[in-house]
Amino acid sequence: MNGASQSDNPLAGLSQALTDLIDQGVRMGADLLDTLGRGPLGQLASSIQKTPVLPKTCGCDIPPPCWMPKPLGDLVSHVCPGGAATIRLLVTNCSITPRAVQVLVAGKDAAKVTVTPAAATVGPMERAAFVATLAIAGDAAECESHEVLLWVRGCHLHYLRWRVDVRSRGGHACHEVDVQDCPDLVHHWYDHFYCQRPCPQAGRTSGQVGGQVGANG
């Protein structure tokens, strides 16, 4: 009966033949991939998968010009009325020669800040602490704000923006800021002929830092 049915319906036999042909093609393809995977191509693909992907680090960003001061960031202190805000500037002289370091104050509230000491000579590879203090009056109003600019002049010229806000729930505030005052001994691709090395501030006096800074210094 099966032979009679296939002869009566030739499309059924053709469909079965195509199905068998597709199955044979799939098996041959699987065998070929398995063979290639065991050979040199498979070893190459495995090594490529194990190769770590390195991050893209171009390093092509151009920094600010060499004659621009170096920022130390912004700092905000919260102090209650009658309290005081203090910043301890820890300056490191990472050179083999002694360095004269000076801390100057600028800004509308510069007269309210005291710096101890205002200047010092820091030995080779040594550190020195400069303490800036801003005292808040006992009758200061809530949300009163004072802002100054602290300049550190050594091998380089550094600056720190400092704001002191009066808060009833505040207290005495004390911060420490690390200042790496290091000569630049590396020649970079972006350097220009006007860059002074290694210390661009070595030949300046306190009055040459800036008009307002020199006046407060």
| Cross-strand bridge partners of residue 68 | none
- The yes-or-no verdict on residue 212 having pLDDT over 50 is no
The residue that leads in pLDDT, 87 or 7, is: 87
Radius of gyration, CA atoms only, the chain: 37
> Domain of 108: which CATH number?
2.60.40.10
User: Do 117 and 42 lie in a common domain?
Assistant: no
Q: Kindly state whether residues 90 and 135 are assigned to the same domain.
A: yes
Whether residue 98 is contained in a domain is answered as: yes
Percent of the chain residues past pLDDT 70, beyond the cut: 70
Would you say residue 41 has pLDDT above 70? no
pLDDT of 40 higher than 70: no
**118 contacts 89 by C-beta, under 8 angstroms:** no
Q: What is the pLDDT of residue 37?
A: 64
Q: Do 21 and 119 fall into the same domain? A: no
- CB burial string 136-168: b at 16+ within 10 A, e below: beeebeeeeebbbbbbbbbbbbbbbebbbbbbe
Helix (H) or strand (E) holding 23, with range, is helix 10-38
Q: What is the tally of structural domains in the chain? A: 2
pLDDT tens for 60-104 read 677 777 778 999 999 999 999 999 999 999 999 999 999 999 999
Task: Find out whether 151 and 101 touch, Cβ atoms under 8 Å.
Answer: no
Is residue 206 assigned to a domain? no
Looking at the structure, do residues 38 and 79 belong to the same domain, yes or no? no
What does the pLDDT look like over 128-185, one tens digit per residue? 999 999 999 999 998 899 999 999 999 999 999 999 999 887 778 899 999 999 988 8
Taking residue 29's Cβ as centre, other Cβ atoms within 10 Å add up to 10
Round to whole Å and give the CA distance between 163 and 153.
20
Asked, for residue 89, whether it belongs to a domain, the answer is yes
Report how far residue 165's alpha carbon sits from residue 141's, in angstroms, rounded to the nearest whole number: 10
- Residues 94 and 129 placed together within one structural domain of the fold: yes
Domain-embedded: residue 127: yes
- Is 196 among the domain residues? no
**Mean pLDDT, to the nearest integer, of 8-25?**
72
Question: The domain containing residue 38 runs over which residues?
Answer: 2-46
Residue 61 lies in a domain: no
The verdict on 27 and 127 lying in the same domain is no
Q: Are residues 104 and 12 in the same domain?
A: no
Instruction: Give me the chain's average pLDDT, please.
Output: 80
